[in-house]
Structure 1
Amino acid sequence: MNKQRLHEIFRSLYKTHGPQHWWPARDRFEVMVGAVLTQNTAWVNVERAIEALERAGALDPHAILDLSDARLARLIRPSGYFNVKAARLKSLCRWYVAKGGWQKLRHWPTGRLREALLSVHGIGPETADDIILYAFERPVFVVDAYTRRLLGRLGHTRAQAPYDDLRTAIETALGPDTTLYNEYHALIVTHAKHVCRPKPLCGQCELKRGCAFQKGKGSSDF
């Protein structure tokens, strides 16, 4: 993957959208909760669910585990798939508490931390990497549907490659940089939501000059 091209994309996105200040949360555990709740829903719905947990005094791993499954599901209902997410959230909390919470886990090597998260029920690569990047502040690039859409339209021939293949290719090109990964992923999400939509607004896009999709081509600048 072309390092120079990736940096050009980042600079264009940053010029267009400015700093994103992600992840929008008050503490690290809230980031973890948000990473589970944001699966298959808009962030505004996650915010409503988190606010409900906070009002109930349940924005804490022990408090969540003390809730009945039904009560937890009702609290996080705004996030959608609430029964499934309640089970996933409890699994994450059980793991988190059993491993000693932040005080212990913050010392784990990134590879061990990622492998352990992936063993938790309902935690896939994207959710695990959200947690690792935004809560633990480790240099792991988050690949999501927005990343694949943007890179695919820009002409990257491996945009639909297996998750870890694409993640590793991006990380290798950019080098380990937590701050860059944080901002880059946030900018991709913002751009994909507001400009590079399913039906793109190409006339408003800073990247259109080098965009294979806009030119009607399948070639790659990567």
Structure 2
Amino acid sequence: MLRISLHRLYLILLEAYGYQNWWPVDEHYHKSKGTDPRDEIIIGAILTQNTAWKNVEKALENIKRDGELSLRFIREVSHEELARLIKPSGFYKLKTERLKHVANFFNPTDVLRKVGREELLKLKGIGKETADAILLYAGNRLTFVVDAYTIRLFKRFYNIQGDYDQLKAFVEDSLPKDITIYKEFHALIDNHAKIYCRSTPRCRECFLKDYCISAIQSF
């Protein structure tokens, strides 16, 4: 029996932090350049693999400064130049290959409208988290993104463990089928985990401590 429902947890986090409005994109840039903001999300979803978002932002700024933040640019730029631009994101040679592959697949970007999750998972360099992030945030498709923060929070808060698909199903079975809730809950979990539910948790300061199994057991 859950101490509080998943939807109630979402509402508590929303009240505490407000709407996060993920995925962050530079709307002004895309309007001025005539580029597609969905391209930025797809590019960012690859760049954020195995790195902190601050490093992704540096790579995105390099692309905007010296190129164009679009899948068209990713397709046309040389491997060497792209690797230079995205170097701050780490694993830049590997990510260069993945970006090229994904950019060729999403040509045009509207492929997003019909592509299935299983089809995305067949692409080289696209795992479950990346596929769901692209579908949810770029494609506005009703699929929840599970990441390391989600796994950590659910283990501590609910004592629930499982593989990616099990945790994804747990969320999707427990929440209203609402695209905004899916987007915001993922972002809110990440925000809370960065502030309180860290690798070394700050349980005594956390406003969820009275509901969290791990926090209660630690006092």
Partner in structure 2 of residue 200 of structure 1: 201
Unaligned runs of 5+ in 1: 218-222
Partner in structure 1 of residue 109 of structure 2: 101
Contact 1:195/1:201 (<8 A) preserved: yes
CA distance in 2 between counterparts of 1:101 and 1:42 reads 26
1:101 is displaced (CA, Å) by 2.4
Partner in structure 2 of residue 220 of structure 1: none
Q: Percent of aligned pairs with the same residue?
A: 45
Superposition TM-score, scaled by structure 2 size: 0.89
Q: Tell me which amino acid in the other structure corresponds to 1:169.
A: F
Matched, 1:83 2:86: no
- What RMSD over aligned residues (CA atoms) do the two structures have, in Å? 1.7
Contact 1:141/1:170 (<8 A) preserved: yes
Unaligned runs of 5+ in 2: 27-36
Counterparts of 1:1-222 in structure 2, within 5 Å, are: 5-26=5-26, 27-97=37-107, 100-102=108-110, 104-106=111-113, 108=114, 112-157=115-160, 159=161, 161-216=162-217
Contact 2:39/2:109 (<8 A) preserved: no
Deviations 1:156-176 (A, max 9, x none): 33x2x1211211121012132
Deviations 1:96-142 (A, max 9, x none): 11xx322x432x1xxx5211211111010000101111111111110
CA distance in 2 between counterparts of 1:122 and 1:193 reads 26
Contact 2:112/2:135 (<8 A) preserved: no
CA distance in 2 between counterparts of 1:126 and 1:67 reads 27
CA distance in 2 between counterparts of 1:3 and 1:63 reads 49
Superposition TM-score, scaled by structure 1 size: 0.88
1:15 is displaced (CA, Å) by 2.0
1:202 is displaced (CA, Å) by 1.1
1:67 is displaced (CA, Å) by 1.7
Q: Tell me which amino acid in the other structure corresponds to 2:77.
A: L
- How many residue pairs match? The answer is 208
